[in-house]
C-alpha cells in the first residue's frame, strides 16, 4: 500500500464573495495548491471535489468538469456530496486512490458559494442536510437542532453558556492574523453572552457564519515524491469515515456522535496511534457545542469532560491540546464543501511551520482533522504526521 504525502496546500480567503463564481474560487485554490506542490498539472491523475449546495446557490450541477477546467486539469473529475462533510469525503477518496496505487497524484478540494443568494435561501439549502420528512419539513434548521443537542448535554452532564462562550472566544482569538479567516476580530465572553439568541441556549456568536471560499491539496504517493524530489514532509497516515442516523429522534442519544467515533477509530487504527498521541486538532465547530461533542467523540476527552476544556485553557493555543488554531469554522469560516479540505490545509501549514500560529506548536508532529455533516450523521477523520 502506497504512503500518501501532501505535496501542496492552498485556500482562498474565506468570507463574502458574491461577485465571484464558484469556478473562479476553486480555480484560485487549486492554483495555490498546485504551485505550492511543484507538481505539473499534466501529472495529476484525478480530481476529487467536494460541494454541497451548488445546485441551489448557483443552479449548477455536474460541477466536477467545470472545476477541472478551472484548475487547468484534464484528469477524470468527480464531485462528492456529504453535506458539510463533502470535503472530508472527497479527501478520504483521494487518499484511498493514492494508497491503492490507482493514482500517483490527486488534486482534492472543495468549494461553496452562498453569499450570492439571500440568507433565507442559503439556510433552506443547508437545511437539506437534515431529514426532510421528520425535521426540515417541520421547520427544524441546524441552529435549532444543535440547540437541542446543547440542552441535552447540559441536562446530562452540566455546563453553562459561559463554557460554550469560551469556545467562541478562543477560536476568534486564534483567527487573528490568519489572512484566510473570515473574522479576524477578537470577541469577549460578554459579547457572546449578550448577543441575540438564535436558538436557546445558543446565541449569534455560538454559530459559524455563511461563507464563500475554496480549498485544495495535492496528494502524491511517497514513491512519486521521492522520484521527483518533492518537499512533502506531511503524510496522511490514517483516514476514517462514519455514519449515523440522519434524524435526531432516531438516535439513542443526543450527546453522542457515533459517526465521529467510528471515523476516529478507523483513522487511529490505520495510523497506529492513540488519542493521547495527538498534538493538535482542527474539529468541526459549526456551533460551539459541536466542538465539545467532537472532542469527546474523538476520544481525547471522556464523555461529559470536554465542556470546560476551552474555559480552563486546555484547548487554547498555549494549552496542552490546541484546538482550531485556524480559528475553526466559527471564525475562519465554513464554506461547506471546502471545509474538510481547508482543515487539512491549515494543519499542513501548522505542521510545516509556515502558518501564522505555528509558533504555538513548534514541536507538533501529529495532528487530526475532523469534518462532520449535518448533526454529525456523517463524519471523516484524518491523521497527519510529520515524516522525514
Helix (H, G, I), strand (E, B) or coil at 231: coil
Give catalytic status of residue 334 as yes or no.
yes
DSSP of 23-91: HHHHHHHHHHHHHHHT--GGG--EEEEE-SSHHHHS----HHHHHHHHHT--S-EEEE-BTBTHHHHHH
Which one of the listed residues 172, 284, 334, 355 is annotated catalytic? Answer: 334
- pLDDT score for 207: 98
pLDDT at residue 263 tops 90: yes
pTM: 0.97
Give catalytic status of residue 132 as yes or no.
no
The partner residues of 364 in beta bridges, in order of sequence, read none
Residue for grid cell 472527497 = 90
Question: If you count them, how many residues does the chain have?
Answer: 388
- pLDDT score for 165: 98
pLDDT at residue 2 tops 90: no
The residue-averaged pLDDT of 374-382 equals 98
Cβ burial 191-216 (10 Å sphere, 16+ → b, else e): bbbebeebbebbbebbbbbbbbbbbb
pLDDT at residue 93 tops 90: yes
| Cβ 17 vs Cβ 108: under 8 Å | no
Which one of the listed residues 84, 208, 217, 286 is annotated catalytic? Answer: 84
Residue 67, judged by CB atoms within 10 A of its CB (0-12, 13-18, 19+), counts as buried
- pLDDT score for 28: 98
Task: Give the phi and the psi of residue 354 in degrees, each rounded to 5.
Answer: -115, 25
Mean pLDDT of the chain, nearest integer: 97
pLDDT at residue 1 tops 90: no
* Strand-pair category, 46-50 with 77-80: parallel
Q: Compute CA distances 216 → 10, 203, 291, whole Å.
A: 5, 32, 24
Say whether the peptide bond before residue 201 is cis (omega within 30 degrees of 0): yes
The residue-averaged pLDDT of 161-166 equals 98
Cα angle value 295/141/254 (rounded, 5°): 40
Q: How far apart are CA 202 and CA 82, in angstroms?
A: 25
3-state helix, strand, coil in the chain (%, to 5): 40, 20, 40
- pLDDT score for 164: 98
- pLDDT score for 248: 95
Helix (H, G, I), strand (E, B) or coil at 346: helix
Q: How far apart are CA 82 and CA 339, in angstroms?
A: 12
Q: How far apart are CA 237 and CA 196, in angstroms?
A: 43
Query: Which CATH architecture describes the domain 4-118+209-386?
Result: 3-Layer(aba) Sandwich (3.40)
Condensed to tens digits (0 to 9), the pLDDT of residues 118-157 reads: 999 999 899 999 999 999 998 889 999 999 999 999 999 9
Residue for grid cell 455546563 = 159
Condensed to tens digits (0 to 9), the pLDDT of residues 342-361 reads: 999 999 999 999 999 999 99
- pLDDT score for 285: 98
Condensed to tens digits (0 to 9), the pLDDT of residues 171-221 reads: 999 999 999 999 999 999 999 999 999 999 999 999 999 999 999 999 999
Angle, helix 339-352 to helix 86-100, in steps of 10 degrees: 60
Amino acid at each position: 500500500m502506497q504512503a500518501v504525502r501532501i505535496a501542496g496546500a492552498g485556500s482562498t480567503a474565506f468570507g463574502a464573495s458574491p461577485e465571484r463564481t464558484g469556478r473562479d474560487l476553486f480555480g484560485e485554490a487549486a492554483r495555490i495548491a498546485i504551485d505550492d506542490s511543484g507538481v505539473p498539472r499534466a501529472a495529476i491523475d484525478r480530481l476529487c471535489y467536494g460541494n454541497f449546495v451548488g445546485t441551489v446557490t448557483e443552479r449548477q450541477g455536474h460541477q466536477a468538469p467545470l472545476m477541472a477546467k478551472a484548475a487547468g486539469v484534464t484528469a477524470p473529475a468527480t464531485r462528492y456530496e456529504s453535506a458539510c462533510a463533502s470535503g472530508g469525503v472527497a479527501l478520504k477518496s483521494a487518499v484511498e486512490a493514492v494508497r491503492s496505487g490507482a493514482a500517483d497524484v490527486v488534486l482534492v478540494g472543495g468549494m461553496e458559494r452562498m453569499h450570492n443568494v439571500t440568507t433565507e435561501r442559503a439556510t433552506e439549502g443547508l437545511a437539506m442536510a437534515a431529514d426532510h420528512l421528520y425535521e426540515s419539513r417541520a421547520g427544524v434548521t441546524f441552529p435549532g437542532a444543535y440547540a437541542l443537542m446543547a440542552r441535552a448535554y447540559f441536562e446530562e452532564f452540566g455546563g453553562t453558556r459561559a463554557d460554550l462562550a469560551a469556545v467562541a472566544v478562543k477560536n476568534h482569538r486564534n483567527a487573528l492574523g490568519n489572512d484566510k479567516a473570515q473574522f479576524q476580530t477578537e470577541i469577549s465572553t460578554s459579547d457572546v453572552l449578550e448577543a441575540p439568541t438564535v436558538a436557546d441556549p445558543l446565541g449569534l456568536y455560538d454559530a459559524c457564519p455563511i461563507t464563500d471560499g475554496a480549498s485544495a491539496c495535492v496528494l502524491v504517493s511517497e514513491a512519486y515524491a521521492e522520484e521527483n524530489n518533492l518537499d512533502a514532509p506531511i503524510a496522511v497516515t490514517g483516514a476514517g469515515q462514519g455514519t449515523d442516523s440522519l434524524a435526531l429522534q432516531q438516535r439513542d442519544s443526543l450527546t453522542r456522535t457515533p459517526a465521529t467515533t467510528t471515523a476516529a477509530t478507523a483513522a487511529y487504527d490505520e495510523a497506529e496511534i492513540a488519542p493521547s498521541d495527538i498534538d493538535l486538532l482542527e474539529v468541526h465547530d459549526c456551533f460551539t457545542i459541536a466542538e465539545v461533542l467532537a472532542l469527546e467523540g474523538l476520544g481525547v476527552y471522556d464523555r461529559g469532560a470536554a465542556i470546560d476544556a476551552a474555559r480552563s485553557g486546555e484547548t487554547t493555543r498555549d494549552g496542552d491540546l490546541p484546538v482550531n488554531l485556524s480559528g475553526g469554522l466559527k471564525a475562519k469560516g465554513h464554506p461547506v464543501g471546502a471545509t474538510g479540505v481547508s482543515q487539512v490545509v491549515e494543519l499542513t501549514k501548522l505542521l510545516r511551520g509556515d502558518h501564522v500560529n505555528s509558533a504555538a506548536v513548534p514541536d507538533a508532529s501529529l495532528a487530526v482533522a475532523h469534518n462532520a455533516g449535518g448533526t454529525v450523521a456523517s463524519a471523516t477523520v484524518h491523521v497527519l504526521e510529520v515524516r522525514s
